[in-house]
Structure 1
């Protein structure tokens, strides 16, 4: 049995935006790995202890890089789902917001990984993209539901 799914003409942009998310994860994983090596934090220790981070700038940078990566993982499932759903009605908007989220997360990671947590705000615009995607996905679902009732 086969299934045909009709998607908007510009849905390829949505798929392209979503396909950059695994590359964001790879970038962040390598950033964390380099910071872990410099700090000398052995596996399976997830973070440097408070005393280690206070005594070593490298340990603090590791903690910040690790947190940036973890924060992305906290959001990634909602972003992927919202981008794919919103793209069913608003493919260019969804792709643009998805791409903006990825760029924002890169800037967030680069700032945070300096070891100065305040520098994570350089990529703070990812929040606007995330909220835009959540709102657009919700509106897409509501409008689709209204068509069937």
Structure 2
């Protein structure tokens, strides 16, 4: 078995992952504030009366739905190319912010403003595949 050395550049990846924790907290706070504003009490997840609350809730929920995939790709892709991986993570994070801010307008179509975040995610996917192939000795 060959030894694996972790690049010091992986610190950038770690910091980007930490930044996403703040993203999740910000999204959660937006839901709490929207609950008060649109009078949606717990434990209800969505409003039958106001889709503006539902837009805020969906921005948070969708991010939570894709977050495990992002984390796996961020860590493994970052092991292969730490600086590129960190940059891709920042692109994904910025895309999530743009996605949420677009959704918060109350027009669900405006969430697509954050679609550029998939550039980061798909690049992380490529880096992750490259990492796996390199571990197997194919590249």
Give the TM-score, by structure 2 length.
Answer: 0.92
Which residue matches 1:20? 19
Which residue matches 1:92? 83
Which residue matches 1:107? 98
Alignment of 1:1-149 (within 5 A): 6-49=5-48, 52=49, 59-146=50-137
Secondary structure at the aligned position of 2:44 is classed as coil
Secondary structure at the aligned position of 1:114 is classed as coil
Give the number of the structure whose alpha-carbon radius of gyration is greater. Answer: 1
8 Å Cα contact 2:80-2:130 kept in structure 1: no
Count of residue pairs brought into register by the alignment: 136
How big is each residue's C-alpha offset from its partner over 1:82-129, in whole Å with a ceiling of 9 and x where there is no partner? 111111120011000011111110111011011111111111111221
How big is each residue's C-alpha offset from its partner over 1:26-55, in whole Å with a ceiling of 9 and x where there is no partner? 010011111111110111000012xx1xxx
Which residue matches 1:55? none
Unaligned runs of 5+ in 1: 53-58
Secondary structure at the aligned position of 2:68 is classed as helix
Superposed structure 1 runs of 4+ greater than 3 Å apart: none
Secondary structure at the aligned position of 1:13 is classed as helix
Give the TM-score, by structure 1 length.
Answer: 0.86
